[in-house]
Structure 1
């Protein structure tokens, strides 16, 4: 199966613009459909419950909010202009919790492309938390930093591998993407949480059976921890995308990688992070 159906979590922020640029690049490579989704908690839903607010004021505020949503839709269309075929471009606007709504819609798409979280002062109802979307949906989410070298995206993928379930689920969820990479590195940072090796088969063997020419690199964690070790390797080796897994906590949605360094990786990676539960 190839990548044919992309969902872009779009709220008009700089990070969602970055997500749109990468989605356009993937459209070009895979000839994929690209759907933008604006999910929001409408301010008007709360205002309707306030009987003391005059009707004409509610109508005026509703018109302002509707114009904000149209502005976001126009920005999405402008980012796609000349880059995405009109017959492959789609738009969705849905009322609801942004993270949960995107997670729900992701079940019908091959991949979610989202910008790294922006703090939107005064517009919190539009805020997106990509790691929560991945944990809640179980679907892969590609998190894009604002500034990235899009020319490197297709060249070198680094798979953060600890031999445990989250990493394995991620591997199989994104195999279609890895199969298109000319260079794949499996990166293991040696900690006590590394899964035990399985006699007779290893990760490189599993990848080779998908015609992926991968190598396995093992590193000791540096003085500043596992996350920095991974990011330094990605920078030194000019990686284009970092692939990693998340797990779901019973009390809250949280990402964990090699002892809980996933948050640091997501927040500080200079390259896109491909995340899956």
Structure 2
């Protein structure tokens, strides 16, 4: 597997530039085509007006404003993509970001967006965009923390392994990145509590699988102390190793309009301190 089509969320967030920068680096290193996609949300607004305004039309000034914002976001993306020398295109859609990114991710190998920043104002669905896309896009999602600048993810990758379907999916989807990483550490937490999941040597089988794919990997057994959840333990281990990428499965399900996440997934989404590739 290789990455040849990468989908990037484009908006006017103050964190967009660092997201664009990392996406350009990944696309360049994999000789991939980068698609910057921005969304006006006009389709949703039209339906809302039809339902509550008895067919009332959107004001032309409002349409111009949201379209102009999306165009401005794409203009900034184009500047960075040209400077990086990457193959790219820009797309603008009248879908909302949730709907549009899920649809367009069907034709991409990787989706890149930012971690939600709790300090930013905006609709509730926009703050939940990372978890929604992780669970519903069907593609691996590379999340860039809102704090800091991240220019590389090829020095030391940390893989969280628990033998689950989601972890298997994440490892497989991350193979193009793991093959390029100078060092990969595969961490197995509390293997003694996971009956029937691991072999005689927890992590050995998946490490052999990775090695056969050209990944330089070593396995570490981790035991979380009392009071420390695995999400925090993962982030702590990432810092201790100096990792620049975390690969993990995402756990959760949709309950009506509420997304119910697993504890580790929720903790990492809230507190990530390095880029994270998640797959569901």
TM-score, L = length of structure 2? 0.85
RMSD of aligned Cα (Å)? 2.6
Residues 167-186 of structure 1: pairs in structure 2 closer than 5 A? 167-186=167-186
Change (3 A) 1:250 1:193: farther
Q: Which residue of 1 aligns with 2:253?
A: 249
Deviations 1:99-124 (A, max 9, x none): 23212211111100111123553566
Number of corresponding residues: 270
Q: Which residue of 2 aligns with 1:14?
A: 14
1:264 to 255, 263, 267: 267
CA contact (8 A) 2:71 2:92 kept: no
Q: Which residue of 2 aligns with 1:64?
A: 65
Q: Identify unmatched segments of 5+ residues in structure 2.
A: none
The Cα shift of 1:2 comes to 2.2
Change (3 A) 1:71 1:127: farther
The Cα shift of 1:190 comes to 0.7
Deviations 1:243-273 (A, max 9, x none): 01113425254443xxx21111122111100
Deviations 1:73-112 (A, max 9, x none): 2222233241134xx2111122223223212211111100
Q: Which residue of 2 aligns with 1:94?
A: 93
CA contact (8 A) 2:49 2:55 kept: no
Q: Which residue of 1 aligns with 2:218?
A: 215
The Cα shift of 1:242 comes to 0.3
Residues 15-164 of structure 1: pairs in structure 2 closer than 5 A? 15-42=15-42, 44-45=45-46, 46-47=48-49, 50=53, 58-85=59-86, 88-118=87-117, 120-122=120-122, 129-148=129-148, 150-164=150-164
CA contact (8 A) 2:39 2:70 kept: no
The Cα shift of 1:51 comes to 5.6
TM-score, L = length of structure 1? 0.86
CA contact (8 A) 2:251 2:265 kept: no
Change (3 A) 1:250 1:152: closer
Aligned equivalents of 2:279, 2:182: Cα separation in 1: 22
Aligned equivalents of 1:250, 1:270: Cα separation in 2: 26
* Matched position secondary structure for 1:160: strand
* Matched position secondary structure for 1:172: helix
Does residue 235 (structure 1) correspond to residue 234 (structure 2)? The answer is no
Change (3 A) 1:147 1:83: farther
Aligned equivalents of 2:83, 2:6: Cα separation in 1: 18
Change (3 A) 1:199 1:123: closer
The Cα shift of 1:195 comes to 5.5
